[in-house]
Structure 1
Amino acid sequence: MSLSKTLKHIFASLLFFISSICLADTTLPLSPEKISSPYPNVKVTSLNSAQSLINEFKQHQYQLANVIKTEQIPTFFVENLPDDLNSLPVQEKISGFIRLLLPTIIEVNEHISAVRHDVITLSKQPKSEWSKTETVWLQNLMTSYDIKSNTIDDLLLRLDIIPVGMVLAQGIDESGWGTSYFAVKGNGLYGEHLSSKGGKYLSTPGGHVKVAAFDNLFAGTARYMYNLNTTSAYKDLWKLRQQLSAEGKLSGYELVESLSHYSTRGEAYVENLQALIKHHKLDSFDQVTFDSSTPIRVRFEN
């Protein structure tokens, strides 16, 4: 074999090796809080008002009644909030806020479910059969979720979805139906303070409180779920979620019982969340999945 052919053969083998590694990596899902480009690669529709968003919803026949009836939702991602939701009539503001946030919550939960599924699949195989990529992937999850025991059962206790109704209720309560300064300017809907690890933030007047800020609603929602799943103050939430799941009773209304530590309002906070979930039927969306329509991306130029 000539030198040129030998070099070509080596180069081809090297390319195959690299592509095999890349393929192995792509088969293992990322936790949503680590996804830097979460949205479909489609043209972004720029909007400048809450009313223009409502018009988009109407154009694409995106109505909550249809979502509840069919348990299907369009892949309609709203990247950030308009600054004039309060300009809408009350019922339209309520429906509009739920519709703009709902696909993001479902998408984040689907990413969590994909990671959880692969962890469970891996746990059923002998460790001797795990690839190096799988071993590193799982160890990174253990580190990220602060699993000191290094056991998969402890990881699965934390690595799980947050019911849609609970996320919606907290987003509504903490952001004032998407109208707070921190929600509009920083995509922070859930009242989270700046992490000790740093990151983007907005300050209250005088700079006494630093509130976490995010690039988009997906990132803010993913980080909120990650914080619930990794902060030891929410051990009661993990245990209650596991119990409710085993009984087939997991819902936002039931799980918010474990959130008395989330707010200084304590039990009054829990009662308010439950009232929101019940009054607006926020637990109606737990089984909703995306339909096969073309993805839509909307961004506000506030």
Structure 2
Amino acid sequence: MERKLLWVISSLVILILWLKIEPQGTEQAGSETLSTEPVKTEAPIKEPAQNSREAIVTEEEEAYFKSHPIDESKPDFAAIEDVQKRKAAFFGYLLPFVQEKNALLLEDRARIQTILDSPEPPSREDKTWIAALRKIHKLRKLGVYTHEDISVLLKYVDIIPASLVLAQAANESAWGTSRFALEGNNYFGQWCFTHGCGIVPNARGEDQDHEVRKFSDARESVFAYIDNLNSNSAYKELRNIRAELRENKQTITGLALVHGLENYSQRGQDYIDEIESLIDYNELWRFNVHTDEATNNE
């Protein structure tokens, strides 16, 4: 009898303890789950960064090229044995395209300044033009344009000194003799990312999909290169240097802007030093001819 009573009492004690402990165990398990499970938050969507060598020809430029045709023939630079004559031919071939592009940029700057100086609000035509410029330079679309929205364009719409253009062209195209210059009129190593848009580099890695863009002529290559420096986020520092020179009414030089090219090549500072040396050794500042009210170039 005593043994049976003890068994009943023991069973009751075990039942009471089980009822008391089990909820705590369940709660603890739940709390561990909450503390160890990472909280899932939606990551912000990031726009893909534009490649520092990406070449883009705008619709406006395509229309311009059609309405302003050029002679597409080019010198055979490799056949010119005399080094100085080859350099002279190279500079003489590309310089007119640099001057043409810079002249167009100065015209656009003048129009922007006229709009800013006018006491009247921008016309419908001006607004359409401003919207197109902002799109080209990857600035967000706006419904209403303030003075600041318009003036910011002056930082993007500006010249690239011929000394810098010619030095980079010489470096990137081996003085016009590279495969990409010969087959694709590409003098600046500019890339594209659509299959068949250009020439596949022999040294392209298996995980890469870029091609070196083909251009119809050298002018297209020069225009696309200058557009890239003026719009790509990789060259923000170059544009800052240029804007500061403008602000201080100082000369816009290739030797100054070259320090904003750190992202043009994986070689970084070594690449900058090389371009700087090309400008100095070949005295390329002598080709800078564009002037306006704000500055003289080198």
Asked if these proteins are the same fold (TM beyond 0.5), I'd say yes
Task: In structure 1, list runs of 5 or more residues that go unmatched.
Answer: 1-29, 41-76, 290-302
Is 2:114 aligned against 1:121? yes
RMSD over aligned CA atoms reads: 2.5
Q: What is the one-letter code of the residue matched to 1:37?
A: K
Cα distance in 2 for residues equivalent to 1:288 and 1:227 = 20
Alignment of 1:1-302 (within 5 A): 32=61, 35-37=64-66, 39=68, 79-126=72-119, 128=121, 130-148=122-140, 151-194=149-192, 196=193, 200-205=197-202, 209-247=210-248, 248-287=250-289
1:86 shift after superposition: 4.2
Whether contact under 8 Å (2:102, 2:159) holds in the other structure is yes
Off by >4 Å, runs of 4+ in structure 1: 30-34, 196-199, 206-209
Helix, strand or coil at the partner of 2:191: coil
Q: Which residue of 2 aligns with 1:297?
A: none
Per-residue deviation, 1:199: 8.0
What SS does the corresponding residue of 2:92 show, helix, strand or coil? helix
Q: Please tell me whether the aligned partners of residues 81 and 183 of structure 1 are also in contact (alpha carbons under 8 angstroms).
A: no
Q: Is the alpha carbon distance of 1:131 and 1:153 closer, same or farther for their aligned partners in structure 2, counting shifts above 3 Å?
A: closer
Task: Please identify which structure carries the higher strand content.
Answer: 1
TM-score calculated relative to the size of structure 2: 0.68
Describe the shift of the 1:83–1:267 C-alpha distance in structure 2 as closer, same or farther (beyond 3 A): same
Whether contact under 8 Å (1:188, 1:217) holds in the other structure is yes
C-alpha contact 2:77 2:89 (8 A) present in aligned 1 = no
Number of equivalences: 222
Q: Structure 2 CA distance, aligned partners of 1:206 and 1:239?
A: 34
Q: Give how far 1:200 is off.
A: 3.2
Q: Deviations over 1:84-124 (max 9, x none)?
A: 53443111101110111111110111111111211111122
Identity percentage over the alignment? Answer: 31
Deviations 1:181-228 (A, max 9, x none): 11111111011111x578831112386541011111111111111111
* Greater gyration radius: 2
**1:141 Cα offset (Å):** 1.0
What is the TM-score normalised by the length of structure 1? 0.67
Contact map agreement 1:81 1:184 (CA 8 A) in 2? no
Instruction: Tell me if structure 2 keeps the 8 A contact 1:171–1:189.
Output: yes
Aligned CA distance change for structure 1 residues 174 and 115 (closer, same or farther; 3 Å): same
Cα distance in structure 2, aligned partners of 1:261 and 1:206 = 20
Structure ranking higher on relative contact order (CA contacts 8 Å, 6+ apart): 1
Shift of 1:243: 1.1
